[in-house]
Amino acid sequence: MRIEHGIINRVQQANDIVDVISEHINLVRKGREMVGLCPFHEDHKPSMYVNPDKQIFKCFACSAGGDVIKFVQMREGLSFMRAVERLAARAGIKINITKQASDGPDSDIDPADIEKVNRWAEKHWRKNLLDKSIGEKCRDYIKSRQITEKTSEEFSLGVAPDRWDDFLNAAKKKNIPEKLMLAAGLIVAGEQGHFYDKFRNRLMFPIIDASSRVIGFGGRTLGDDPAKYMNSPTSILFDKSNCVYGLDKARHQIVSSGTVAVVEGYTDVIMSHQFGCKNVVATLGTSFTAGHARLLRRYVKNIVLIFDSDIAGTAAADRALEICLAEQIDIKVASVPQGKDPCDYVLAAGGEAFKKTIETATDVMQYRWDRLTEKFGSSDNLSDRRAATEEFLRSVATASKGKVIDVITYGLIINRLSRILQISPEDIKRELSRRQSSSRLVVNTIENVKVSSVELGSGFGAKAQAEIIEVLLNEPRFFESAARKVKADDFDEPLLKEIWELIGKTLADNAEFSLTNLLAQTESKDVSGLVVKLSDNGQDIETLKERLAGAIAALEEYNSKKLSQKTKTPDDEHLRKILSVKTKPDRRNPGFMPI
């Protein structure tokens, strides 16, 4: 699939990078740039710089960098095209994506088409709800749950009537292909090849992602169906293990507050938002998963889990805690007073009381400690006590390995355990060390995006290639003269070769050369980060000329030696003399050489 290059540039220009990044992290001015904590690694001091003039960002710690599209692509875990779509929608720009022959058989059904069908279904069921006769029963149910008409409209609630083919027939009249309805999970194929509606006699909850796409639905029965809640099946767009309900409404409040509260039900989210608690989302009828943790970590590091206080709720909370500890997410636990679910509690006590419940949530280690002491106090059975201790040690080992708890807290926990178990602190430390080394939990995925310094090889061959690219990014007018002596095949570092080709293509298109124009032509996050990194060393034009001449001479010598001594590396000392112009040190980190 392909998006026209002109459209990509238009999307870039319509989305100011400072405005977009500010929706995700707090930025403060530092000279001509803005700085903030980088969301792509564990950042404790501002390492990310955002340049409003160049419309680029760069992290000096993890080397992440690029334009506004790359930021959204990395931050929200999207493909390049989906990131463009996301920003286009933000700016109110309509775009067309064309298919290519190389897209393969799996691209026969476009995710964008599935989203369009879902969007139409949302409007159809909403229209049903507002229909005087069709929606009466469902409207009465919504009213009985004390959901206001304004909230119903905000969450686009709808109704699938008690019919086998209401949606199917309506969709056929709009010439929507059955294969799209099947791919979206909106209809089901019967044994004899007939189709019927997936959702029947249900209150419908559209599930919308952070990009404002309708990716699936949840349906609550209005009758006596034993399946009280039903979700869309897994599709190209939807996987309940990696989606949460309400994220589209909660995203901005989550970022600004620094906390997200996770509940279990659709109506828990709706009622929380109705009463002003807008940083609340819900899992979709499934246990809290690593996918949920990674999704939410893109927006916030503090998660408060609010589960029912029954046995099932406690077990669900325990599973969620292990996941969050392994993912290095700060996790707290809150229980709604009087054993109510969040929806009923908000109705009874109000939004401020629920906010206080979130704000006073118990730290994960304190929660586990309370569980441990509670079990010790209620049982003298050796087996029960050992099980309780094992549970707590597992949490401490996971939290310590994931750096969720600091050294002081770790020491306090060791001493507390020593007193309650009558075991020496040294023995407890040895046991925890053993557990940490044998842990199979995956930690620190950093939002499922690996951001690391790009390895460009060693020696002056790699140095010369990087030097040429660095000069051309700062002064592209030298490209024509450089291209008389240097060709793409002279680069044996793939990323540098790709950047060389991108520079040539950008200039050949007669476009105004800029970093954003160049970055718009690559989907690679590694290429994007390297472009920003190399472009940061600007010098006066005469120095750039000298550097380019020295680098080209070094590359020619390197390639000549490589050709004649195929298995030998050219004499680095000889090349050092040719490549005599030194690279300027990083201006923010003296002594650090970018390459």
Specify the CATH number for 109-238; select among 3.40.50.1100, 3.10.110.10, 3.40.980.10, 3.90.980.10: 3.90.980.10
Q: Cα angle at 288 between 275 and 39, to 5 degrees?
A: 80
Q: Which amino acid is at 311?
A: I
Torsion angle (degrees, nearest 10) of CA 410, 412, 413, 415: 120
Residue 49 scores a pLDDT above 80:
yes
334 membership: H or E segment, kind and range? strand 330-334
- Contact status, residue 45 vs residue 507, Cβ threshold 8 Å: no
30 membership: H or E segment, kind and range? strand 28-30
- Residue 357 pLDDT level (bands cut at 50, 70, 90): very high
87-125 confidence digits (pLDDT tens):
888 888 887 665 544 444 444 677 888 999 999 999 999
- 109-238 and 459-578 in the same fold: no
Report the alpha-carbon distance of residue 532 to residue 57 in Å, rounded: 8
Q: Which residue has the higher pLDDT, 382 or 353?
A: 353
What is the reported pLDDT for 554?
85
Using CA atoms, how far residue 264 sits from 240, 270, 279, 595, in Å, is 13, 11, 14, 49
Residue 285 scores a pLDDT above 80:
no
Q: Which pTM value belongs to this model?
A: 0.59
Compute the average pLDDT of residues 201-224.
93
Nearest to 537 by CA among 595, 457, 454: 595
What is the reported pLDDT for 129?
96
Residue 439 scores a pLDDT above 80:
no
Beta strands across the sheet bearing 229-231 = 158-160, 202-208, 214-221, 229-231
What is the residue extent of each domain of the chain?
2-103, 109-238, 242-360, 367-438, 459-578
Is the dihedral angle over the CA atoms 498, 503, 92, 298 positive or is it negative? positive
For 298, residues 6+ apart whose C-beta sits below 8 A from its C-beta are 24, 39, 75, 76, 77, 447
Is the dihedral angle over the CA atoms 488, 490, 494, 500 positive or is it negative? negative
* Residue whose token pair is 């906010």: 355
Mean pLDDT score across all residues of the chain: 80
- Residue 566 pLDDT level (bands cut at 50, 70, 90): low
Residue 405 scores a pLDDT above 80:
no
Report the alpha-carbon distance of residue 118 to residue 120 in Å, rounded: 5
Tokens of 549: 């001449």
Give the 3-state DSSP-derived string for 197-224, with helices as H, strands as E and coil as C.
Answer: ECCCCEEEEEEECCCCCEEEEEEEECCC
% of residues, the chain, pLDDT over 90: 33
452-469 confidence digits (pLDDT tens):
345 555 566 788 888 899
CATH number of 2-103: 3.90.580.10
Nearest to 516 by CA among 56, 3, 35, 19: 56
- Contact status, residue 107 vs residue 57, Cβ threshold 8 Å: no
What is the reported pLDDT for 222?
95
What is the reported pLDDT for 582?
44
What is the reported pLDDT for 168?
95
Tokens of 335: 């229980």
* φ, ψ at 222 (rounded to 5°): -105, 5
What does DSSP assign to residue 466? Answer: H
242-360 belongs to CATH 3.40.50.2300: no
489-520 confidence digits (pLDDT tens):
888 888 898 999 999 888 887 667 888 888 88
What is the reported pLDDT for 127?
97
Residue 353 scores a pLDDT above 70:
yes
Which span out of 249-258, 281-290, 303-312, 325-334 was modeled with the highest average pLDDT?
Answer: 249-258
Report the alpha-carbon distance of residue 188 to residue 259 in Å, rounded: 39
Please tell me the least confidently modeled range out of 170-184, 197-211, 233-247. Answer: 233-247
What is the reported pLDDT for 408?
74
Tokens of 293: 């943790």
- In DSSP terms, 262 is beta-bridged to 281, 305
Report the alpha-carbon distance of residue 279 to residue 297 in Å, rounded: 14
What is the reported pLDDT for 24?
84
DSSP class per residue in 255-299? HHHSEEEEES-HHHHHHHHHTT--SEEE--SS---HHHHHHHHTT
Which span out of 50-64, 360-374, 399-413, 453-467 was modeled with the highest average pLDDT?
Answer: 50-64
Report the alpha-carbon distance of residue 538 to residue 535 in Å, rounded: 7
Report the alpha-carbon distance of residue 221 to residue 138 in Å, rounded: 10
- Contact status, residue 55 vs residue 67, Cβ threshold 8 Å: yes
Q: Strands, E, within 73-225: which ranges?
A: 97-98, 158-160, 187-189, 195-197, 202-208, 214-221
Report the alpha-carbon distance of residue 427 to residue 414 in Å, rounded: 10
User: What's the start-to-end Cα distance of the chain, in Å?
Assistant: 35
CATH number of 459-578: 1.10.860
What is the reported pLDDT for 336?
83
Report the alpha-carbon distance of residue 193 to residue 552 in Å, rounded: 68
What is the reported pLDDT for 337?
77
Compute the average pLDDT of residues 425-438.
74
- Residue 401 pLDDT level (bands cut at 50, 70, 90): low
